[in-house]
Structure 1
Amino acid sequence: MSEQTPDDQRPPIAAAVVIQDGAVLLVRRRIKEGSLSWQFPAGEVEADESPESAAAREANEETGITVVNGKKLGERVHPNTGRTMIYVAFDSVEGEASVVDDDELDSLAWVKHSELTSYVPYPFFEPVQRHLDRILSK
């Protein structure tokens, strides 16, 4: 029987907050038991990479886009998962986003500020919400 690593010893998760043409990229992730959830492209930070590099890698692996010049927005222990989350903002996008990792993702959407609560019915982590409010409300 294998033991699970405690959440505080597991690598942090880096989330890519990608903005393009006045919209933020959200992916609908397949989660255990088939339920689906809208969130940012994200994944574990590997031992040899920065959170910015991890977020960029995950955005590419999941959606096929290339993002650069990430800026860390903040980090927290996620209240639902207990995992350390690091949020990284990107506003330089190359390529056309599509579902590349269809084992992990169901779909994706570019979401305007006025549509955010239709996808995620609660406020984002405060530094992320402030960033979205500032960038997407222009």
Structure 2
Amino acid sequence: MIAQAIIIKNQYVLMVKQYVERGDIVWNFPGGSIEQYESPEQACIREVKEETGYDICINALLHEKNQKFSFTAEINGGELFLDVNNKDNDDIIDIAWISLHDLEKFDHITLPILELARK
């Protein structure tokens, strides 16, 4: 199971650039695997902190499909940074606020979720 956060601020969305299993490099929403005894919300909060340095609060469950939970969230603390020494983040190569108008950064998986969040 996976939990991810869609964080939109001033017409920008927080994204992480990462290697995926098939060998591609893609922009994804911050998030990751739900660990045993964690709720999807707890996993989302933990993963965003680990990947971006931000503390977040979950607003709502936006979408759930095939055990992948997408939440809308807001930043409530922390600072943006990429911890290159964190072995859990070895697949992440960049973190950025991407303009909602920069559609070529979004793929067939992230774009529909982003469209739901913009409504």
Tell me the TM-score normalised to structure 2 length: 0.81
Mapped pair 1:56 → 2:45: yes
Q: Do residues 109 (structure 1) and 96 (structure 2) align?
A: yes
Match of 1:14? 3
> Deviations along 1:31-85, whole A, 9 cap, x unmatched?
34753111011111122221111111000011111101341111112xxxxxx21
Residues 32 and 127 (structure 1 numbering): CA distance in 2 closer, same or farther, change over 3 Å? closer
Count of residues in Structure 1 that have an aligned counterpart in Structure 2: 115
Aligned twin of 1:40? 29
What's the % identity of the aligned pairs?
27
Distance in 2 between the 1:35 and 1:122 partners? 14
Letter in 2 for 1:98: F
Which residue pairs with 1:88 in the alignment? 71
Pick aligned residue for 2:82 from 93, 96, 99: 99
Gaps (5+ residues) in structure 1? 1-11, 78-83
Q: Which residue of 1 aligns with 2:16?
A: 27
Partner of 2:106: 120
Counterpart Cα distance in 2 of 1:98 and 1:26: 12
Partner residue in 1 for 2:64 = 75
Which sections of structure 2, spanning at least 5 residues, go unmatched? none
Q: RMSD value over aligned CA atoms?
A: 2.2
Larger Rg: 1
Structure 1 or 2: more strand by fraction:
2
Q: CA deviation at 1:119?
A: 0.7
